[in-house]
């Protein structure tokens, strides 16, 4: 009885969950008529390809951050609407940062020079780091004793500030109640007990004064989910700057034990689940049944703060095994990010892809277009390519595919009356760094777990097929065994209950009959307990009534005997009459 009850639902590790909101930079019309396939693009400078960093500076591999997945937090000790901030998850940054009240944006900020240019100070066109949607700023109240500068820089971005500490408060988001921290503040709790907030203290964060970014930053700051632990002194990260480590170590009711986090970012018009990040554990409801064990990939050593893995091959093929591309890579490295809307591939791979796609139809023409983007565009592309061909990545001995092919296409328009031929703009573009950048198409297709446990040398990434619904048809593996146990438990419980009730009812009847028999019993009474069982349950108050009832029963039995004797005599008479007729006929 107890075992089925314990197995009703899957056991899930404790975790801390936060809702994610997607904020995306909307590109204007791409220059699809500007063909750049034969023009070699500019590549990322070598000093940035080394992704060096220390406890005061970080260099980042070149790519444009054009999408942000934000969580809501409270800075400081006061829980007010003015103190709520939207911070973006950044898998390519080891630091958390926010905009200070005197933050300034200017293109004339020099790397490793923490001084504001005079032209910046007097330029009225500076936007002071903010925009209409993300205009929050904060100055830490718990200043460090020593003013330590820090900066994050890449080819397209430069962020400078000083390290400070203050409290970050977060609400443990519950996907069933769907309450965010803003709703928590606005809700009138009355006599109800509000959920508790989780406070993170002692986290070293960069309070930013200077920003130079090519694209707008669609957040009030960043939470660094980059790899915090590094293997060598040359790659040491700043102490007390690892957000995940701090959250797991907090002495809260969360009781987190694992230094890992997981991301679920799938969304569609028919998907009613939320995009979430989970820290400390995982939830199987976000995993699709197919290959539910997933694939675990070891993180590359000496890859700085990046979640970087070895990648060996990229293929675009159908179920029959026909390849569009089957390419070995010049640099066998790939890293994960939430900040790119694209899969970004090396230039040689992109050229091979454009040439091979044109072989499927005589009128198909594919090119890299737009000198700023080098994005893949095809005219007169057969519909079968979109539906039948899957992009597959080989990581060591493991192959992982983007099964939802719709994620690979940014926009498609029919160019034939029968809708078999389409003009398509892909979510695939050139990578400035020659690394493979696994952006949104890969991230949305999977539920991805990032585990970092320095004590036992566990540094790996788990990739699971994402559930496209939170319902039974898409996710049966989660419910089949619990459902069987639930049915078994209900059956056993019902069976035991029916048997128990039947036994108790019979026992009560026997006790009641025995009691009535003993109450009516006297020395002249020769009736057995068997006769007393046949007596209806009438409350007789006197012995005379009992004797009268017994006589009635005897008279009733006598009448039955007389009626049976009459039936026998009638039968004998009928038999004699029949015999006499037969003899006369002879």
Structure tokens at 103: 């933050």
State residue 376's pLDDT score. Answer: 95
Which uninterrupted H or E stretch holds 263?
A: strand 260-264
Of 124, 127, 105, 125, nearest to 116 by C-alpha is 105
State residue 56's pLDDT score. Answer: 82
How far apart are alpha carbons 464 and 13 in whole angstroms? 17
pLDDT in tens, 200-240: 888 889 999 888 888 889 999 999 998 865 555 555 556 68
> E-assigned strands of 415-539?
421-430, 436-438, 446-453, 458-465
State residue 474's pLDDT score. Answer: 45
pLDDT in tens, 24-35: 999 988 999 999
State residue 6's pLDDT score. Answer: 36
Q: Tell whether the model's pLDDT for residue 183 goes beyond 90.
A: no
Of 277, 279, 240, 276, nearest to 256 by C-alpha is 279
pLDDT in tens, 365-380: 999 999 989 999 999 9
User: Would you say 535 and 549 are in contact if contact means Cβ atoms under 8 Å apart?
Assistant: yes
Mean pLDDT throughout 555-560?
70
Report how many helices (DSSP H) and strands (DSSP E) the chain contains, helices first.
Answer: 11, 29
User: Would you say 22 and 496 are in contact if contact means Cβ atoms under 8 Å apart?
Assistant: no
How far apart are alpha carbons 140 and 142 in whole angstroms? 6
More confident residue, 36 or 468: 36
Residue given tokens 């103190």 in the structure block: 83
pLDDT bracket for residue 469 (50, 70, 90): low
CA 219 from chain centre, in angstroms, equals 22
State residue 495's pLDDT score. Answer: 82
pLDDT in tens, 30-75: 999 999 988 888 888 887 877 777 778 888 888 999 999 999 999 9
User: Would you say 49 and 335 are in contact if contact means Cβ atoms under 8 Å apart?
Assistant: no
More confident residue, 458 or 417: 417
Q: Rg (Cα) of the chain, in Å, rounded?
A: 39
- Burial category of 278 from C-beta neighbours within 10 Å (exposed 0-12, middle 13-18, buried 19 and up): buried
Structure tokens at 65: 């951050």
Which uninterrupted H or E stretch holds 59?
A: strand 57-59
Q: Tell whether the model's pLDDT for residue 455 goes beyond 60.
A: no
User: Would you say 422 and 415 are in contact if contact means Cβ atoms under 8 Å apart?
Assistant: yes
pTM equals 0.77
How far apart are alpha carbons 457 and 476 in whole angstroms? 34
């Amino acid at each position: 009885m107890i075992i089925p009850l314990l197995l009703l639902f899957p056991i899930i590790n404790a975790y801390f969950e936060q809702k994610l909101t997607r904020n995306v930079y909307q590109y204007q019309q791409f220059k699809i008529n500007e063909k750049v396939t034969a023009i070699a693009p500019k590549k990322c400078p070598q000093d940035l390809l080394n992704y060096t960093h220390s406890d005061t500076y970080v260099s980042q591999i070149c790519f444009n951050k054009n999408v942000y997945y934000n969580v809501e937090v409270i800075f400081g000790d006061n829980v007010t609407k003015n103190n709520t901030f939207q911070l973006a998850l950044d898998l390519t940054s080891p630091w958390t940062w926010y905009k200070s009240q005197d933050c300034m944006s200017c293109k004339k900020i020099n790397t490793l020079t923490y001084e504001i240019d005079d032209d910046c100070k007097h330029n009225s066109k500076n936007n002071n780091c903010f925009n209409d949607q993300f205009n929050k700023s904060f100055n830490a109240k718990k200043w460090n004793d020593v003013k330590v500068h820090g900066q994050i820089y890449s080819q397209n971005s430069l962020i400078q500030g000083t390290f400070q500490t203050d409290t970050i408060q977060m609400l443990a988001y519950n996907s069933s109640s769907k309450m965010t921290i803003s709703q928590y503040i606005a809700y009138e709790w009355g006599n109800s007990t509000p959920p508790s907030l989780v406070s993170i203290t002692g986290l070293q964060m960069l309070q930013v004064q200077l920003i130079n970014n090519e694209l707008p930053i669609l957040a009030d700051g960043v939470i660094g989910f980059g790899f915090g632990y590094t293997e060598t002194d040359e790659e040491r990260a700043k102490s007390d700057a690892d957000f995940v480590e701090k959250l797991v170590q907090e002495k809260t009711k969360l009781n987190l034990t694992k230094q890992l986090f997981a991301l679920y970012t799938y969304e569609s018009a028919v998907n009613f689940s939320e995009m979430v990040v989970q820290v400390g554990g995982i939830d199987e409801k976000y995993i699709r049944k197919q290959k539910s064990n997933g694939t675990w990939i070891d993180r590359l050593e000496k890859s700085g703060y990046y979640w970087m893995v070895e990648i060996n091959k990229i293929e675009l093929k159908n179920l029959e095994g026909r390849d569009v591309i089957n390419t070995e890579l010049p640099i066998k490295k790939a890293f994960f990010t939430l900040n790119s809307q694209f899969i970004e591939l090396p230039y040689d791979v992109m050229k091979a892809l454009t040439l091979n796609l044109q072989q499927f139809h005589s009128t198909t023409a594919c090119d890299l277009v737009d000198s700023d983007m080098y994005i893949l565009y095809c005219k007169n592309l057969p519909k079968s390519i979109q539906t039948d061909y899957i992009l597959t990545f080989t990581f060591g001995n493991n192959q992982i595919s983007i099964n939802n092919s719709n994620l690979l296409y940014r926009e498609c328009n029919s160019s034939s009356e029968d809708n078999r031929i389409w003009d398509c703009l892909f979510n695939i573009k050139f990578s400035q760094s020659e690394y493979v950048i696994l952006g949104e198409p890969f991230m949305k297709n999977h539920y991805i777990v990032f585990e970092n446990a320095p004590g036992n040398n566990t540094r790996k990434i788990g990739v699971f097929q994402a559930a496209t619904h939170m319902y039974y048809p898409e996710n049966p593996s989660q419910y089949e065994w619990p459902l069987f146990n639930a049915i078994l438990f209900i059956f056993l419980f019902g069976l035991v209950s029916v048997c128990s009730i039947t036994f108790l009812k019979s026992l009560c009847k026997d006790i009641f009959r025995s009691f009535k028999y003993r109450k009516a019993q006297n020395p002249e009474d020769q009736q057995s307990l068997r006769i007393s069982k046949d007596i209806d349950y009438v409350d007789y108050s006197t012995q005379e009534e009992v004797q009268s009832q017994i006589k009635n029963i005897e008279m009733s039995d006598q009448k039955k005997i007389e009626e049976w004797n009459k039936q026998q005599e009638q039968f004998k008479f009928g038999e004699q009459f029949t015999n006499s007729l037969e003899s006369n006929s002879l």
